[in-house]
Amino acid sequence: TGAVTALAGVLGRRLHGDSGFHVEVCQVEQVVNVMADLLAKESLEPGSVQPRGNHSDRGTPWGLFPCKDDDSWVAICTRTDAEWRAFAEVMGSPEWAMTDELAVLKGRQAREGEIDALVEAWTRQHTVAEVVEACLARRVPAGPMHNSAGQYGDPHYRARGFIVELDQPPIGGMTFEGPGFHATGMPVADIRPAPGLGAHTRDVCAELGLDDAEIDALLASGAIERDVADGA
């Protein structure tokens, strides 16, 4: 949010043809914008806002749970009572999950810690892929917590164009993160290999007002260099 605010200010100034200027954005002001509801709640009911960790007022269970594979985690978020019932069925309808008390959010929130422990006992018996597949089949929000290798191999990320592979001279093939989202009217991200050291030497010198002869003289003297491989 802060970066966008600063960038908007810079672009606005540039559009009006003015010279460069300094933009100062206070981080705490940007954070306040995304937690206004919590500030209002605490103002009206002092002490009502407490650290929640992975828990959420919007649903229970809500968080990350370890799975069968080493250091593998799955995110599960039940937002409604209907999603909770579906999730209970995913777990095999255990007796503890089928009580009237846990059928409503208020009852589940009162036993968050106990529910988390029981859900974890179930997820530890399965791989991340098994949990995600079973949950999504019943329309229960769930997804893997990826490390770098997981992101690279995720077929959904690749289908969405998030994984970008480029030929980066002189290193060769490299993998990069692409755009995190797409929007109507949004131009396609221009992702290209990074230029070599000195690849734009001649262009920069020309922008500074030097002619070809002056640039050639500087190159010959060794005062500046260019990336011959890029033909600069």
pLDDT tens track for 19-36: 666 777 778 877 888 888
Please tell me whether residues 75 and 40 are part of one structural domain. no
Nearest alpha carbon to residue 140 among 94, 61, 77: 77
Nearest alpha carbon to residue 22 among 9, 12, 4, 8: 9
Residue 3 has pLDDT above 80, yes or no: no
Residue 188 belongs to some domain of the structure = no
C-alpha distance from residue 198 to each of 217, 225, 230 (Å): 16, 6, 9
DSSP secondary-structure letter at 204?
A: H
pLDDT digit string (tens) for 54-63? Answer: 888 889 999 9
Pick 34 or 45 by higher pLDDT: 45
pLDDT digit string (tens) for 86-107? Answer: 999 999 999 999 999 999 999 9
Please tell me whether residues 13 and 80 are part of one structural domain. no
Please tell me whether residues 39 and 76 are part of one structural domain. no
Contact by Cβ (8 Å): 177, 189: no
Q: Which H or E element spans position 210?
A: none
Please tell me whether residues 99 and 137 are part of one structural domain. yes
Pick 185 or 208 by higher pLDDT: 208
Mean pLDDT of 156-165: 88
Residues 6+ away with beta carbon under 8 Å from 134: 90, 126
Q: What is the pLDDT of residue 115?
A: 97
Residue 230 has pLDDT above 60, yes or no: no
Contact by Cβ (8 Å): 152, 175: yes
Pick the range with the lowest mean pLDDT from 6-20, 68-82, 116-130, 168-182: 6-20
Residues 6+ away with beta carbon under 8 Å from 30: 1, 2, 5
Domain of residue 24: give its range.
2-44
Residue 229 has pLDDT above 90, yes or no: no
Residue 139 belongs to some domain of the structure = yes
Residues 6+ away with beta carbon under 8 Å from 178: 161, 162, 163, 164, 189, 191
Please tell me whether residues 85 and 26 are part of one structural domain. no
How many domains is the chain partitioned into structurally?
A: 3
Contact by Cβ (8 Å): 141, 134: no
Please tell me whether residues 78 and 125 are part of one structural domain. yes
What mean pLDDT, rounded, does the chain reach? Answer: 88
Pick 34 or 10 by higher pLDDT: 34
Amino acid at 161: G
Nearest alpha carbon to residue 84 among 66, 65, 100, 104: 104
Residues 44 and 67: their CA atoms lie apart, in Å, by 40
Token pair belonging to 41: 């709640």
